Structure 1
Amino acid sequence: MRSTGKNVCISATIAGIAIGFWVSEANAQLKSLLPPDRRAARQKMLSTAEMVSVIPGCRTVGRPGAYPLYTRKLSLNVEQEKAIAQLDSIVRNALQPRPDEAMSPEEQVASFRQFRNRYEQLLVHARQVNYCGLLRPVEAEYVLQQFLSQEELWALRHSADVQQMLGLEPKQQDERISLKDLTAEQREIWNRLSQSRTPPEPSYQLYQLPENRKVEFDPVRHSAVFRILAESNDSLQLSVNQQRSLEALREVTQTGLWYLAVREEASIPPAAIIHPPTLAETKVKFLHHAEEIALLGILDESQEATVRALVDDQ
């Protein structure tokens, strides 16, 4: 089913207003708890995040209403659009400094670097959740191609997932690299990923997860991180906002796991370079990136450390 652009934009606008109010309220509450010197450091991070996030393809995770250039020609169904919009909202809310990252002015350089690293990691994890689970392989190829064609230097210099696909050496991963610095093999991979593509038509149906199979695809049954989060809600002292974000992420992950099962039933091959060679490996990769969004984007530093330690003990 293809949604009209008007309906998608209206839904995106409403979601954006709600998320904006939610984030503003959380920021105001946190600001009141910070001493003046830390407030200044935090404000610098927020201002920088807003400046960076307006770059198309940098913060977006594929929401049709946010960047129609990338997705308006895809035949996404209602469930896909809903899951992608949920993911987009989760990550936008997560792209805020943690309290522990709003350090004093003397530590601004180090604290900003910590914030920026987490910021960029979240974007990578969000894109991979999209590529591996929420989009069909041909859709993932198309969206990635659009990203590379529009944001060539940004993707090459700042997108860890793209750098990994290309097999960049550590010495190549700096802010001065350009296409001319790639090896012949790396340039061939870049050309394959960025070659012009026709907007794909759905090659198989992604239908809604039946009620009687929801338990089967609950990420709590497939992921130690999601299971621990569900069992440790009280001990972690999760805020209401954190609980809402985790529940939304759980729904997104459930949808992705279901779509991977549908893809297996339809015997659809993976997208070369983007996906691992087997569906089982793709599932592992998808779950890993969803888990990292929870750990890096929803939990605070202390909660993250607690959950990682519990996972290691299992």
Structure 2
Amino acid sequence: MRRRWCTNASEVVVGSGGEGGATVVLAHGYGVSQASWDKVLPSISKASKVLLFDWDFNARADDGEEEEADTAAARYTFGRFADDLIALMDEREVRGAVFVGHSMSAMVGCIAAARRPDLFAHLVLLCASPRYIDSEEEGYVGGFDEASIHAMLGAMESDFQGWVKGFVPNAAGGTAVEERIERSFRAMDPAVALGVARMIFLGDQREALDNVSTPCTVVQVRHDFAAPPIVAEYMQQRITRAGTDVAVEIVESVGHFPQLMASTRVADILDGVLLRLRGEGGHDAAGAPMPPPADKEVDGGAIDIMM
């Protein structure tokens, strides 16, 4: 029995959403925890409740499982994270949710929504990227060349704590949150952190965008070194090509954590999504009729982690 990656799930009743407000599922990104939503949570006034959870970045191999390359590739996949998200939402009987996925969780949400569209009414994709490595022959700009990604992963493997010290200032975008984010990154198990980082930074989830039928809002930070606004434009074009409604919101801030650096703006965007859903008579959290589950074969599977 494989170990699940989601832990510490909790439900919070918030604001004045009351009857008719959707459930909001907040999924944090790489290196942080559900505490990264603390500044946004009090401002989500049009939700009925919020489901919070942690991705367990300290989950070691199950008893008897050896961490060889092929085993690690099977453990660290977007598809596996998506399956755990689906299982959590089924356990909590959440349907028609507004899913907010930060960073790696954005693509986890896209894959989960393609597999089980009944669970999701809207996807808010915050600082998302389906592919971090540029592809000149395809005209795709992800923001990094392959050599720099491998150099980063090598630095993580040789000196994880030193890598954190250099990486976090760029990711944080401001000294006000830098110490908090650094503490969270340092708390990760280095082996797990490296495995998940390989999944994220070497992976290519662009094809998953073709299967997203849930309306989306892509939220990107103007000055985010990890996921520049051009990635949001690519995501909008590709998801729209599949016939799905997509809006793009640009946050005038810096860094990869707008829920901490520009929390009011992020909360306003989310409240706008919730308000539109209520106006459209969207799915409510109390159990409005839903279409039957529609399991789909969507990839998000293993990648080559050899360096």
Question: Scaled by the length of structure 2, what TM-score is found?
Answer: 0.29
Determine which structure has greater relative contact order: mean sequence separation of CA pairs < 8 Å that are 6+ residues apart, divided by chain length. Answer: 2
- Indicate the structure with greater strand content: 2
Larger Rg: 1
TM norm structure 1: 0.28
Structure in which a larger fraction of residues adopt helix: 1
